[in-house]
Amino acid sequence: MKIMLPADSKMHSKAFTFGVATASFQIEGAVDYRLPCIWDTFCATPGKIRDNSDGSQACEHVKLWREDVDLIESLGVDAYRLSISWPRVMHKDGSLNPQGVAFYTDLLDELNRRGIKTFVTLYHWDLPQHIEDNGGWLNRETAYLFADYADKITQAFGDRVYSYATFNEPFCSSYLGYEIGVHAPGLATKAFGRQSAHHLLLAHGLAMKVLQKNSPNSQNGIVLNFTPCYSATDSAADVEAASKADQYFNQWYIKPLFDRCYPEIINDFATEDMPVIEQGDFDIIAQPIDFLGINFYTRAVYKADPATGFSQIDMVDKPKTDIGWEIYPQSFTDLLTSLHALYPLPPIYITENGAAMDDKLIEGKVDDQDRLEYYNAHLNAVNNAIEQGVNVVGYFAWSLMDNFEWAEGYLKRFGIVYVDYETQKRTLKASAHAYRDFINARK
Binding residues: 26, 124, 168, 297, 398, 405-406
Closest Cα to residue 88, out of 138, 133, 27? 27
Nearer CB in complex with ligand IFM: 103/396: 396
| Eight-class DSSP state of 160 | -
Closest Cα to residue 400, out of 50, 19, 106? 19
Asked if 435 interacts with ligand IFM (CB under 6 A), we say no
Binding mask 154-173 for ligand IFM (x = CB under 6 A): ---------------x----
Dihedral angle of Cα 129, 21, 212, 249, to the nearest 10 degrees = -70
Closest Cα to residue 148, out of 214, 195, 197? 214
Nearer CB in complex with ligand IFM: 169/281: 169
Residue 414 Cβ, how far from ligand IFM at the closest point, in Å? Answer: 6
Total residues interacting with ligand IFM, rule: CB under 6 A: 8
Nearer CB in complex with ligand IFM: 195/403: 403
Q: Closest-CB residue for ligand IFM?
A: 23
Of positions 149, 226, 414, 418, contacts ligand IFM by CB under 6 A:
414
| Eight-class DSSP state of 364 | T
| Strand boundaries in 266-415, DSSP class E | 291-296, 300-305, 309-313, 348-352, 392-398
- The angle subtended at Cα 282 by Cα 293 and Cα 344, nearest 5°, is 45
Residue 42 Cβ, how far from ligand IFM at the closest point, in Å? Answer: 14
For residues 273 and 282, give the distance between their C-alpha atoms in angstroms, rounded to a whole number.
19
- The angle subtended at Cα 109 by Cα 106 and Cα 112, nearest 5°, is 150
Asked if 123 and 33 touch (Cβ cutoff 8 Å), the reply is no
Q: Enumerate the known binding-site residues for substrate.
A: 26, 124, 168, 297, 398, 405-406
Site for ligand IFM in 245-304 (CB under 6 A): 295
Residue 412 Cβ, how far from ligand IFM at the closest point, in Å? Answer: 8
Task: Look up 326 and say whether it is catalytic.
Answer: no
Residues 6+ away with beta carbon under 8 Å from 115: none
Asked if 126 interacts with ligand IFM (CB under 6 A), we say no
The single residue of 132, 169, 179, 373 carrying the catalytic annotation is 169
Binding mask 343-362 for ligand IFM (x = CB under 6 A): ---------x----------
Asked if 28 interacts with ligand IFM (CB under 6 A), we say no
For residues 235 and 14, give the distance between their C-alpha atoms in angstroms, rounded to a whole number.
46
Task: Look up 264 and say whether it is catalytic.
Answer: no
**Secondary structure of residue 65 in the 3-state scheme:** helix
Of positions 248, 398, 410, 438, contacts ligand IFM by CB under 6 A:
398
Closest Cα to residue 77, out of 21, 5, 160? 21
The single residue of 352, 363, 373, 422 carrying the catalytic annotation is 352
Binding mask 301-340 for ligand IFM (x = CB under 6 A): ----------------------------------------
Task: Name the site residues for ligand IFM (rule: CB under 6 A).
Answer: 23, 26, 169, 295, 352, 398, 405, 414
Catalytic annotation, residues: 169, 352
